[in-house]
Amino acid sequence: MGSKRISQETFDGVVRENIAEFSMEPEEALQEAVEQFELQGVNLTNIVKEVPKVASEESGDEEHEVLKVLRSVEEAALRTTSLAGVVAPLELLTAHCRKEFSQRHLIALHGAYAVLVSICKEALAQEDTNILTKAVLALAAFLDGQPDILDTDGQELLIKVLSLGPNVSTMETAARAVRASCVKHEANRQALVKLGVLPLLTGAVAVVGAPNTVKEACAALRVMTFDDDIRVPFGQAHDHAKMIVLENSGLKVLVEASKAYPNSLPVLSELCATIAKLAVRNEFCQDIVELGGLDFTLALLADYLDHQDLVKNVLSTLRAIAANDDVKEAVVAAGGTNVIVMAMNHHLSNPQLCEQACAALSVLALRNTQNCSAIIECGGALAILQAMKNHPKEANVQRQACMVLRNLVSRTQELCKPLLELGAEPLILQARANHSSCRDAAKAALRDLGCSVKLTELWTGEKGSIGK
């Protein structure tokens, strides 16, 4: 994708020129403009690739549909003291915002943020939860992909809306807006945490009978533990995870919430994914087991084997909590290796699930010879090697498979021969040759399997170039 950018006006001008000077049909003119700019290396992510229409017969000016909708929202909000007329245009604006980033970017340049915040504030003042829900939902859709727009005023607004509970609809939409504003934005995360967002989100998870609210609150909590803003050298992801657990009883809230939704797979999936993000300390992993989290996740894996999203998140949870040496023994003692291998065999065609299964087995095998034997006995080696055969082009699968193979034999040399007889060496060599990200893991696996491998000495303490 190109790095150069152009304005919407420039793009629209070329489309009009194609129509006027080259007698092209509107759609043909649009496609020609897109191809022309892409050949020039222009990034069109921020461009609405539609032919603008005449805004009004009187003016004859052309305008994109999303801008017309924004104008109708603003006019409806100013027309009377009642906000009832703003509902329909707000819903239409939300639909446009969900189409693609370019729609959101264009209305951002025309003051959409101020309009939406103003409507939210007015609805809040009038205690109209219906309008407030619609307005916050539009704000959440608008902020997706452009969190820089949220200012202090908007941050305080979201906290106020979240604090309104127990109104389920406002909590749900506010949590969604919090998530949208915090993805890849460390400053917003830290500001919202200081304003008290964490107890509000954990409180939303604890709401009974509101599955969508729980899902949105879980997603927002997870974002608070992300370290995805490349503009910030050091984020506070770990600190936020500790705050959720220690100051807001996050793990207990999540495990308890799972009991309230035993048959809601989307909710259970979100809860598992969030628990995994909070297992950042040794004692937290142990706490999850003591709260019943291990039994809960293994039961889910056994009972809902066909549901891929849930299985992936359960495997991620097991991978996270098994970082604790005592917990990894508990996982194996509870039959965890059997269930993980069963899930892997059931979803061998899914690279993401194979990756997570290999990663979970790798953690279980690390520094534990008994677990290594348990993995081999339940057919883990066959499943791992089959995953490598099924997904030769998936670097993440190959890397995790090499890591688990290495961990299986690093302290149990007697397992080398069975793995080599199953054909591990050529698969590892293929992974090393095809994927640069697999080279270190592949070399380690080959070395510990006793295979011939050339290890390059990168530096000998003498001046000179460093080898590759």
Tokens 């040496």 correspond to what residue?
325
Taken as a whole, the chain contains a residue count of: 468
Handedness of CA 51, 56, 57, 62 (dihedral sign): negative
Residues 270-326 pLDDT 10s: 999 999 999 999 999 999 999 999 999 999 999 999 999 999 999 999 999 999 999
Q: What is the CATH number of domain 281-452?
A: 1.25.10.10
- Answer whether residue 96 shows pLDDT above 70: yes
pLDDT-based confidence at residue 80 (cuts at 50, 70, 90): low
Average pLDDT for residues 46-67, to the nearest whole number? 80
Residues 348-366 pLDDT 10s: 999 999 999 999 999 999 9
pLDDT of amino acid 165: 75
Question: Within its chain, how far is the Cα of 356 from the centroid?
Answer: 15
Decide if 374 contacts 416 (C-beta within 8 A). no
d(C-alpha 139, C-alpha 313), whole Å: 29
Q: Closest Cα to residue 137, out of 193, 79, 179?
A: 179
Average pLDDT for residues 91-104, to the nearest whole number? 97
d(C-alpha 239, C-alpha 245), whole Å: 10
Provide CB contacts within 8 A for 380, sequence distance 6+: 337, 340, 341, 361
Decide if 68 contacts 61 (C-beta within 8 A). no
Average pLDDT for residues 263-274, to the nearest whole number? 96
pLDDT of amino acid 44: 96
- Answer whether residue 91 shows pLDDT above 60: yes
Average pLDDT for residues 63-87, to the nearest whole number? 90
Residues 131-147 pLDDT 10s: 999 999 999 999 999 99
Give the lowest-confidence range in 241-255, 329-343, 407-421, 441-455: 441-455
Give the lowest-confidence range in 260-264, 332-336, 340-344, 459-463: 459-463
Domain locations in the chain as residue ranges: 8-60, 281-452
Mean of all residue pLDDT scores within the chain: 94
Decide if 142 contacts 171 (C-beta within 8 A). no
- Answer whether residue 69 shows pLDDT above 80: yes
Between residues 349 and 165, which one has the greater pLDDT? 349
pLDDT-based confidence at residue 453 (cuts at 50, 70, 90): confident
Average pLDDT for residues 262-268, to the nearest whole number? 95
- Answer whether residue 27 shows pLDDT above 80: yes
- Answer whether residue 466 shows pLDDT above 60: no
